[in-house]
Amino acid sequence: MKLPRSSLIQAACAVAILILPFTGLIPDYWITLFNYIGISSLVAIGLVLLTGVGGMTSFGQAAFVGFGAYTTAVLTVQYGLSPWLTLPLAVVVTMIAAALIGAVTVRLSGHYLPLGTIAWGIAFFYLFGNISWLGAHDGMSGIPPLRLGSHALIHPRDYFVVVWIAVVLAVVATQNLLGGRVGRAIRALRRSTRAAEAFGVNTAGAKLMVFVYAAMLAGLAGWLYAHFQRSVSPGPFGITAGTEYLLMAVLGGAGRVYGAILGAAGITFLRDQLQDLLPWLLGHTGNYEIIAFGAVLVLILQTSPNGLWPILFGPPSAPKLPQPRAGQHLPERELPAPGTPLLQAEQAQKSFGGLVAVNAVSFEVECGRIIGLIGPNGAGKSTTFNLITGVLPLTSGRIEFEGHPLQAQTPQRAAALGLARTFQHVEIVADMSVIENVALGANLRGHAGVLRSIFRLDRAEEALLFASAMRQLDRVGLAEVAFEPAGTLALGQLRLVEVARALCLNPVLLLLDEPAAGLRVGEKKALARLLREVRAEGVSVLLVEHDMDFVMSLADRLVVLDFGTKIAEGAPALIRQDPVVLEAYLGGVS
């Protein structure tokens, strides 16, 4: 098997780092410093995933380092367990704590989430400092060192290997995770939660997963810290330390795994230098370095909020796609025969307080048809869409899809039933490549979970998912830009990316919300051709559109809404002459 060059370079760097301390070129003092950098890097990598990728800012990560450190301290000092045995225990205890704390925390919205992390960050600091069997404010000392046979890993050089093996493993695991199916869902959390949900991502579950993963790395860091320092006290697990970890992630570049190491190195070096320099300058000792840390944080946010890594090393490179074996592709859904009733809305009603947005609307969508949903602005078209796709619950009436009632269902379940949608305001993950955005549409057609991603056992499935994504991109005519970051595309192209993503779900019913808005004439023609092709394959389309030429030429039937009420339904030619419709669109032509 031929490894890609970047993997070889990374592996070579990893080996070089691990050999470095044994060359005798580096003084012990610096090796100790590198050990602390490695330990902080683990926490910062977790924060990159949590904050930079998942969009959840945590000031309390140091508390999880504390969980790991105190667990191993108690078990080794008071119960005499071997440190190697406490490693899984420390990590598991931290993960359980994180699952409990996270269950509440990830449900906090907006800026309440970071505020929540501050609150429990402080609470745990005082808890550690007041529990007598944790040694209260004095902490615990006499923690045994790690041993390999009879050799104690006390020398910084020996410990260096342990720490950096952990860092290398964490980097590999995190990158594998982010590159896989679950990773795409996580990357969609921050900017396009709605899109992630529309393609079956359980967003609350994904957030909790990220939270626990980040805490796991922090717990591992805590275990390493305890056996290197050989003592623990509450100080390094408080809110100040938590903010420093966040500073490391922000400094390095909050979306990038290697940025975490860069940030950890930067802050650790800065602290080391300032702790010598500042007391000498000011004449007495104290933790004056926080002045500089605060200033660095403010300056980074003011000048380069994406951190140092992108400035030094540019944007992330496009993903390497695994190639599927010849002849293999994802299984396709069996579509019902054309003409079978698919979606039935009966007296569907939605009120927001006193406003009736959708008023007793009934219509039907059959298999293999294109139905146009039209009406002036504010007619209730998008609300109808949201009712069908489970974004909003019905006030009364019913909507059925292939016999399943759609009342009070979630967007995730709608996706599972084969409803795929696009959005009126595009919901695209701008910093992810186009092909990965499209592959998000196939989320429910893959099954690889966290562990399979981390251990790279998802390659065969990923190959199929990406092949399907590539095929759909080709159909909308965007194969050439597949590896560009989605954020660089024009609005019209993004709409087509959304269509491709929806097709990637292998839908029974395609719901398109103004897909032609922002498209050029040629692109509109191509889209119309594509939709006819899709119809010929037996997929139904429900189309909200303002471009009348576009919708009239395509639709088999039109449903016209005005002020939330259905005012007409029929073939485009009839609708064109319907006096009630003309009245609604043009006002009183009397």
For residues 381 and 334, what is the distance between their CA atoms, to the nearest angstrom? 29
In the block, tokens 């309440």 appear at 112
Out of 83, 114, 180, 307, which residue is the one contacting another protein (CB under 8 A)? 114
Q: Shortest gap between Cβ of 366 and another protein (angstroms)?
A: 37
Binding range to another protein, per CB under 8 A, among 120-128, 198-206, 369-377, 446-454: 120-128
The interface with another protein within residues 39-78 (CB under 8 A) comprises 57, 59
* 8 A C-beta contact, residue 146 and residue 153: yes
Instruction: Spell out the residues 6+ positions from residue 298 whose beta carbon is closer than 8 angstroms to its own.
Output: none
Give the binding-site size for another protein (rule: CB under 8 A): 43
Taking the least distance from each CB to another protein, the nearer of 86 and 233 is 233
Binding range to another protein, per CB under 8 A, among 114-122, 341-349, 529-537, 570-578: 114-122
What type of residue is 502?
A: A
Q: Shortest gap between Cβ of 305 and another protein (angstroms)?
A: 6
Q: Shortest gap between Cβ of 295 and another protein (angstroms)?
A: 5
Out of 4, 79, 80, 111, which residue is the one contacting another protein (CB under 8 A)? 111
What type of residue is 53?
A: V
Out of 83, 116, 307, 390, which residue is the one contacting another protein (CB under 8 A)? 116
Out of 154, 157, 288, 563, which residue is the one contacting another protein (CB under 8 A)? 288
In the block, tokens 């970890």 appear at 245
Q: Choose among 270, 261, 276: nearest CA to 299.
A: 270
The interface with another protein within residues 248-267 (CB under 8 A) comprises 250
- 100 touches another protein (CB under 8 A): no
- 293 touches another protein (CB under 8 A): yes
Taking the least distance from each CB to another protein, the nearer of 234 and 397 is 234
Q: Shortest gap between Cβ of 370 and another protein (angstroms)?
A: 33
Out of 205, 294, 339, 405, which residue is the one contacting another protein (CB under 8 A)? 294
Out of 109, 150, 377, 590, which residue is the one contacting another protein (CB under 8 A)? 109
Q: CA distances (Å), 39 to each of 161, 165, 194, 248, 304, in order?
A: 12, 11, 36, 12, 25
* 8 A C-beta contact, residue 255 and residue 49: no
For residues 324 and 463, what is the distance between their CA atoms, to the nearest angstrom? 5
What tokens does 554 get? 């395509």
User: Strand 370-374 vs strand 419-421: parallel, antiparallel, or unpaired?
Assistant: unpaired
What tokens does 236 get? 């390094």
Binding range to another protein, per CB under 8 A, among 70-78, 105-113, 203-211, 322-330: 105-113
Question: How would you classify residue 347: left for phi > 0, otherwise alpha for psi between -120 and 50, otherwise beta?
Answer: left
Taking the least distance from each CB to another protein, the nearer of 193 and 349 is 193
Taking the least distance from each CB to another protein, the nearer of 179 and 252 is 252
Out of 147, 155, 157, 191, which residue is the one contacting another protein (CB under 8 A)? 191
Out of 22, 126, 280, 352, which residue is the one contacting another protein (CB under 8 A)? 126
3-state secondary structure of 111: coil
Taking the least distance from each CB to another protein, the nearer of 20 and 136 is 136
Pinpoint the alpha helices (H) of 230-282: 239-252, 257-282
Residue 98 burial (CB count, 10 A): 24
- 225 touches another protein (CB under 8 A): no
Q: Shortest gap between Cβ of 130 and another protein (angstroms)?
A: 4
Q: Shortest gap between Cβ of 302 and another protein (angstroms)?
A: 5
Q: Choose among 469, 383, 396, 394: nearest CA to 432.
A: 469
* 8 A C-beta contact, residue 224 and residue 435: no
Taking the least distance from each CB to another protein, the nearer of 50 and 321 is 50
Binding range to another protein, per CB under 8 A, among 125-133, 310-318, 473-481, 552-560: 125-133
Binding range to another protein, per CB under 8 A, among 162-170, 285-293, 344-352, 438-446: 285-293
Taking the least distance from each CB to another protein, the nearer of 289 and 458 is 289
Q: CA distances (Å), 69 to each of 59, 118, 137, 147, in order?
A: 18, 20, 15, 17
3-state secondary structure of 121: helix
**Interior/surface letters 371-380, b for 16+ CB within 10 angstroms, e for the rest:** bbbbbeeebb
- 204 touches another protein (CB under 8 A): no
Q: Is 477 exposed, middle or buried (0-12, 13-18, 19+ CB in 10 A)?
A: middle
- 446 touches another protein (CB under 8 A): no
By the criterion CB under 8 A, which residues form the site for another protein?
57, 59, 104, 107-112, 114-116, 118-120, 122-123, 126-127, 130, 191, 240, 243, 246-247, 250, 282, 286-298, 301-302, 305
